[in-house]
Amino acid sequence: MDDWQGMEAIRNQRTLLANTAIEGVGYWSGRDIRVEFRPSDPRKGIVFVRSDLPGCPRIPAVVANRVEMPRRTVLRSGEASVEMVEHVMAALAGMHVDNCEVWVDQPEMPGCDGSAQPFVAAIQRAGIVEQDAPRELLVVRQVVRLGNEECWIEARPAAGGKTVIQYELDYGSGNSIGRQSLEMTLSPRYFDLSLASSRTFMLQHEAAALREQGLGQRTTFNDLLVFDADGPIGNSLRFPDECVRHKILDMVGDFALANCDLAGRFAAYRSGHRLNAELVRAMLENSSALKRCA
């Protein structure tokens, strides 16, 4: 039985109405960074442009350009790379902005408050316009599963061309994060109101280890959530389950590297950027599991 319900899931591509910019500090480098989002033509996708390098090299935001790095999503094309793109990609995908040039003057995106909300706000300031071209859609038609008992991710068919995401977070016992679970149906409104403002998080000993490596020297407890035994240090939660919401936000950003909409039910247990990207690769390669529509 084909769970795809027809052409109602196909939408037109969208881009920005005007240029918009945001400035911030890089989590890893501690450098001041300026990012400018510019409108782009249909079928161009999301492309990062390194304005600080000779010739302004371009890095298309596709899974083939992803390189493995701890705790973040990194893209590389030729000798040029850009780090920590997941929150920008989540903001664009969550708000259905399909074609955009992202000009950045450093090899890293700014951390801002640890969420995608500052990027969403910039997108909303610019405005969004529909384009005269259909957005390609990949529909999951059979189960694709990766990982093991400790961490896994899977895609299954879902009725009505919807994107349903479920995540189970399990930090075990002896910490204030514990276990959290959430299932949601992705839409721009839900993303804006319920996901975009959820922030990056880590345990106190993880933050201390990064500092010892010389990383995050300008990052404070106000810039992300750092948990000790009692909860976030010097900060307060925006949602009781903010951590699992942020894991879903990361999934949205990583799934955007498919460069198309995805229709299906996606479930994950303790998955991270690597498994998220591997699922995207598997779905793009597994034509028998998918129905491509445009």
Phi and psi at 175, nearest 5°, equal -145, 170
Please indicate, yes or no, if residue 2 is contained in any of the structural domains: no
**Residue range 47-52: mean pLDDT, rounded:** 98
| pLDDT confidence bin for 113, thresholds 50/70/90 | very high
- Predicted structure pTM score: 0.93
Q: Please list the alpha-helical segments (H only) found in the chain.
A: 86-94, 117-126, 188-190, 204-212, 242-255, 273-285
Query: So what's the pLDDT on residue 70?
Result: 84
- Looking at the structure, do residues 179 and 211 belong to the same domain, yes or no? yes
Last residue of a domain, one of 75, 102, 134: 134
How many Cβ atoms from other residues are within 10 Å of residue 272's Cβ? 17
**Residue 220 pLDDT greater than 60, yes or no:** yes
Cβ-Cβ contacts under 8 Å for 212 (sequence gap 6 or more): none
How far is C-alpha 42 from the chain's CA centre? 21
- Looking at the structure, do residues 191 and 259 belong to the same domain, yes or no? yes
Please indicate, yes or no, if residue 182 is contained in any of the structural domains: yes
| pLDDT confidence bin for 87, thresholds 50/70/90 | very high
Count how many domains the chain has.
2
Last residue of a domain, one of 134, 157, 177: 134
Query: So what's the pLDDT on residue 289?
Result: 52
Please indicate, yes or no, if residue 254 is contained in any of the structural domains: yes
The CATH number covering residue 19 comes to 3.30.230.20
- Looking at the structure, do residues 284 and 146 belong to the same domain, yes or no? yes
Specify the amino acid at residue 186.
Answer: L
DSSP state of 99: B
**Residue 108 pLDDT greater than 50, yes or no:** yes
Share the mean pLDDT of the chain: 91
- Looking at the structure, do residues 94 and 203 belong to the same domain, yes or no? no
| pLDDT confidence bin for 293, thresholds 50/70/90 | low
- Looking at the structure, do residues 142 and 285 belong to the same domain, yes or no? yes
**Residue range 105-122: mean pLDDT, rounded:** 96
| pLDDT confidence bin for 159, thresholds 50/70/90 | confident
- Looking at the structure, do residues 276 and 207 belong to the same domain, yes or no? yes
| pLDDT confidence bin for 282, thresholds 50/70/90 | very high
User: Rg of the Cα trace of the chain?
Assistant: 18
- Looking at the structure, do residues 168 and 121 belong to the same domain, yes or no? no
Q: Is 246 a catalytic residue?
A: no
Query: So what's the pLDDT on residue 185?
Result: 96
Please indicate, yes or no, if residue 3 is contained in any of the structural domains: no
Tell me if residue 33 falls in helix, strand or coil.
Answer: strand
Q: Which of 88, 86, 58 is nearest to 74 (CA)?
A: 86
Q: How many percent of the chain have pLDDT more than 90?
A: 78
Tell me the pLDDT tens digit for each residue of 180-209: 999 999 999 999 999 999 999 988 888 888
DSSP 189-238: HHIIIIITT---EEEHHHHHHHHHTT--TT--TTSSEEEETTEETT---S
- Looking at the structure, do residues 263 and 167 belong to the same domain, yes or no? yes
- Looking at the structure, do residues 142 and 237 belong to the same domain, yes or no? yes
Please indicate, yes or no, if residue 6 is contained in any of the structural domains: no
Lowest mean pLDDT across 51-55, 103-107, 201-205, 236-240: 201-205
- Looking at the structure, do residues 64 and 145 belong to the same domain, yes or no? no
By residue range, what is the domain housing residue 165?
A: 136-293
| pLDDT confidence bin for 287, thresholds 50/70/90 | low
The CATH number covering residue 221 comes to 3.30.1700.10
Last residue of a domain, one of 134, 162, 184: 134
**Residue 258 pLDDT greater than 90, yes or no:** yes
Query: So what's the pLDDT on residue 3?
Result: 37
How many Cβ atoms from other residues are within 10 Å of residue 136's Cβ? 16
Please indicate, yes or no, if residue 4 is contained in any of the structural domains: no
Given 87, 96, 246, 273, the catalytic residue? 273
| pLDDT confidence bin for 6, thresholds 50/70/90 | very low
Q: How many percent of the chain have pLDDT more than 70?
A: 93
Please indicate, yes or no, if residue 255 is contained in any of the structural domains: yes
**Residue range 276-291: mean pLDDT, rounded:** 82
Cβ-contact 188, 211 below 8 angstroms: no
- Looking at the structure, do residues 122 and 152 belong to the same domain, yes or no? no
- Looking at the structure, do residues 117 and 230 belong to the same domain, yes or no? no
For strand 137-140 and strand 290-293, is the pairing parallel, antiparallel, or unpaired? Answer: antiparallel
Token pair recorded at residue 112: 């801002």
